[in-house]
Chain A
Amino acid sequence: MSDVFFTRAGKLAARKVAGEVVILRADDSSLYVLNPVAAAVWEAADGRTPLGAVVRDVICRDYDVDPETALRDASEFLAALAAQGILHTSEQPLPPAGQALDGARA
């Protein structure tokens, strides 16, 4: 899972408010609120940085959590948002949000 690449889906509006990220999905007005750790993953969703690097370089640096637990939690979070269509994931680097996503899993 540490080599998973991820990027944001299109048709979303997102804003960071007091450390949390609020995401509004345009097609059905669903609302998602990410806590600060999940927000760190969201903000790193550039399609080029693998999840393992985000966990090592951001989450473990900023939060008191062991790498194994952090990676497990981040992987679960990533899978949940991918299942909701909020993020796209792939085993290969992805184009930035809003561009073609052939082969990516949403």
Chain B
Amino acid sequence: MQARTTVVVDVGDVPVALSTGDPTLAAVLQQRFHRFLRPSAAPAFHFDISVIPEDAEDGDRDEDLQVRSEGGLWRLRRGDFRAEWDPDTRRGWIHQRLSPYAADSVLRIVHTLLLSRERGFLLHASSVVRNGRAFLFTGPSGAGKTTIARLAPSDAVVLTDEISYVRRVGDRYMAYGTPFAGELSDSGEPISAPVAALFGLAWAADPVHEPLAEGTAVQILMRNILFFAADPALSRHLLDTACDFAGAVPAFRLAFAPDARVWSTIQ
């Protein structure tokens, strides 16, 4: 019998154990999540992962993601994986192709479902900590999320350049580092800080830095929050959280050229 390897990935103070008997996948996961491994943490959830053989005929590899709930059990499927997760038993399984992206996607989905009930969300945004305060930079692909993170001063810490993790803790919103990165980028740092401001990004030769109305901030948030489940109750939680966040955190429109001086306006 092949030994199993368990990788505990802690994002947002929620440790999730990923257990597999495939040593190659175990190495891939350890590399993917290397900054977020917490071997000694007690897992809040546990997934057993099996690998689909490369030559197996197992459906359409280009199948789009589907997330649905049946009797409290979440079923997830995409071209490169199938998964189930039972929040009550805190266990699940993933049957996936040999790549880091399937387990990465399952973790993203699990965290969005958990956060939706905890006044939190995953956001298409880079986030950077400076002087103990987190700044979120959101926008669609190509808006400059990665660029502004790379332009950050040397005393800043990048939490992520792609997917930000935000959750209300007490009377403030906290941003946490995430390992969720694109194919060409690196994971963030596993620290957290209170959110000081949200910026909606755009490109412009002449910089623009102006406050956003609360309603506009809600719209920007809702267009960039990751959400996978067609569930009315979770949708209400999410909209409530976006409105609460917009009322608690100042938001700005930031149009900029790729020049490090843009950081002189971010306070």
Contacts of B239 in A (CB 8 A): 13-15, 22, 24
Contacts of A22 in B (CB 8 A): 215, 218-219, 222, 239, 243
Q: CB of A57 within 8 A of chain B? A: no
CB within 8 A of A17: which of B223, B230, B246? B246
Contacts of B157 in A (CB 8 A): none
As a 0/1 sequence over residues 230 to 250 of chain B, the CB contacts with chain A under 8 angstroms (1 = contact) are: 111011101110010010000
Would you call B232 and A10 a contact (CB within 8 A)?
yes
Q: In the complex, what residue of chain B is closest to A17 when comparing beta carbons?
A: B215
- CA A19 to CA B240, docked complex, whole Å: 16
Q: How far is the CB of A66 from chain B (nearest CB, A)?
A: 28
Contacts of A25 in B (CB 8 A): 235
Contacts of B101 in A (CB 8 A): none
Q: CB of A26 within 8 A of chain B? A: yes
Would you call A31 and B223 a contact (CB within 8 A)?
yes
Contacts of B227 in A (CB 8 A): 29
Q: Is the interface of A mostly helix, strand, loop or mixed?
A: strand
- CA A31 to CA B221, docked complex, whole Å: 11
CB proximity to B under 8 Å, residues A28-44: 28-29, 31, 33
CB proximity to B under 8 Å, residues A56-103: none
Would you call B219 and A31 a contact (CB within 8 A)?
yes
Contacts of A14 in B (CB 8 A): 239
Q: CB of B214 within 8 A of chain A? A: yes
- CA A19 to CA B216, docked complex, whole Å: 11
- CA A83 to CA B243, docked complex, whole Å: 27
Q: CB of A12 within 8 A of chain B? A: yes
- CA A10 to CA B231, docked complex, whole Å: 11
Q: CB of B260 within 8 A of chain A? A: no
- CA A10 to CA B235, docked complex, whole Å: 12
Q: CB of B65 within 8 A of chain A? A: no
Q: How far is the CB of A19 from chain B (nearest CB, A)?
A: 7
Given the contacts A15-B243, A26-B230, A26-B231, A33 and B236 also touching, CB distance less than 8 Å: no
CB within 8 A of A24: which of B214, B215, B235, B246? B235
Would you call B222 and A24 a contact (CB within 8 A)?
yes
Nearest 6 Cβ contacts at the A-B interface: A13-B236, A26-B235, A18-B215, A26-B232, A13-B239, A17-B215
Residues on A lying within 8 angstroms of B by beta carbon are 10-15, 17-20, 22, 24-29, 31, 33
Pairs A–B under 8 Å by Cβ, sample size 10: A10-B232, A13-B236, A13-B238, A14-B239, A17-B214, A17-B243, A24-B222, A28-B230, A29-B227, A29-B235
* 13 further A-B pairs in the complex, CB-CB below 8 A; given A22-B243, A24-B222, A31-B219: A12-B235, A13-B239, A17-B246, A18-B213, A18-B215, A22-B218, A24-B238, A26-B231, A26-B235, A27-B230, A31-B222, A33-B215, A33-B219
